Amino acid sequence: MPILQTSLCDLLEIDVPIIQAPIGGAAGPALAAAVSNAGALGQITQPYSIDLPGVRQRIKETRELTDRKFGVNMLLMPRGEPHQDVEMRIERLNAYLEEGVPIVSFFWGDPSPYVELIHSAGALVLIQVGSVAEARAAADAGVDVIIAQGWEAGGHVRGEVGTLPLIPRVIDAVAPTPVVAAGGIADGRGLAAALALGADGVYVGTRFVVSEESAAHPVYKKKLLESVESDTVYLTDLFDVGWPDAPHRSLRNTTVVNWEAAGRPPSGQRPGEGEVIATNGGVNPVLRYAIAMANSDTTGDIEALPLWAGQGVGLVNRIQPAGEIVRELVEEAEQALRRCIDLVQAVD
């Protein structure tokens, strides 16, 4: 049996315990398929700006590129009245399930209204959480896999605790539900460390943003490659247009610097508030402080947009095919675990 095969691999029908995080607009069919084809689990995002025919099309495009399992992500942050949100999400989930999606992952909210629907279609449910309490609630709701996100993570950050102390606490709280570690994991040593903590696998985001198949803008990728862990900043209320009240981590860019220089004023009083600084697809305007990720079809002031990045960014140093990233993570993890085994044998 491969050294890195865990119970997560059996459950998700993957070869190695690596899941590509749903990294915004960068996570399209090409990336998800490449990750899945390499034996890990790829995921596509489905922004709410995409209508139901578009949702179905992205799933079909992914299936055309891989015959392996892949996941589809759904965000659960409030968008309107709670009952309307649930109805809208059930409609979208039905589209996922009618297209035969085998795995649905959630983030930022309560998955309990949707678990039975997904299970009834024979699909699995994953949820990313940031605390032990949230993990327990998810396990009680019948979620199949819990992703525990540490404070080091890039993009929107659910938790307030580092990955190292969070993972064992969540594992102890929800056993035997499989737990996946997220936050600051960007190479095989991080994978090995997560497995040593008792996690069943890892969630990797920033590393895949700079993959060849990622739809992230080239300028964004370049900024990531030039950055280290101290270049990231945790923010509670800056890039919030489109998703308020959601802490996040990005690279410190001109938007952050100018806001800090102005004394960190609240929304409505920030420098350049309401200014259009970019467009997506040549049509849709992007405001300063919007949550929009810079994708390949974004034009304008790319550097001023949120450059989502986790604290593992310093370990990301080149653009690679996604499949090569998966293989490298596995090889490095095996080397790290063998070193640990050698240490134990030396003591014996």
Average pLDDT over residues 264-274: 96
pLDDT of residue 84: 86
| One domain for residues 201 and 73 | yes
Between 82-98 and 52-65, two packed helices, what is the crossing angle to 10 degrees? 40
pLDDT of residue 347: 62
Tell me: pLDDT of 76 over 60. Answer: yes
| One domain for residues 58 and 24 | yes
CATH for 30:
3.20.20.70
In the chain, how many domains are there? 2
| One domain for residues 23 and 85 | yes
Domain contains 2? no
pLDDT of residue 341: 87
| One domain for residues 207 and 292 | no
State pLDDT tens for residues 143-158. Answer: 999 999 999 999 999 9
| One domain for residues 307 and 326 | no
Domain contains 338? yes
For residue 255, give its domain range: 218-313
pLDDT confidence of 2, banded at 50, 70, 90? low
pLDDT of residue 83: 81
pLDDT, averaged across the chain? 96
| One domain for residues 209 and 270 | no
* Beta carbons of 250 and 235 less than 8 angstroms apart: yes
The DSSP annotation for 14-76 comes to: -SSSEEE---GGG--HHHHHHHHHTTSBEEE---TTS-HHHHHHHHHHHHHH-SS-EEEEEE-
| One domain for residues 232 and 329 | no
Task: Label residue 267 left, alpha or beta by phi (over 0 means left) and psi (-120 to 50 means alpha).
Answer: beta
| One domain for residues 328 and 237 | no
| One domain for residues 296 and 325 | no
pLDDT of residue 1: 44
| One domain for residues 211 and 277 | no
| One domain for residues 182 and 66 | yes
Domain contains 258? yes
pLDDT of residue 220: 99
- pTM, 2 dp: 0.96
CA distance linking residue 219 with residue 213, whole number of Å: 15
pLDDT of residue 348: 60
State pLDDT tens for residues 194-235. Answer: 999 999 999 999 999 999 999 999 999 999 999 999 999 999
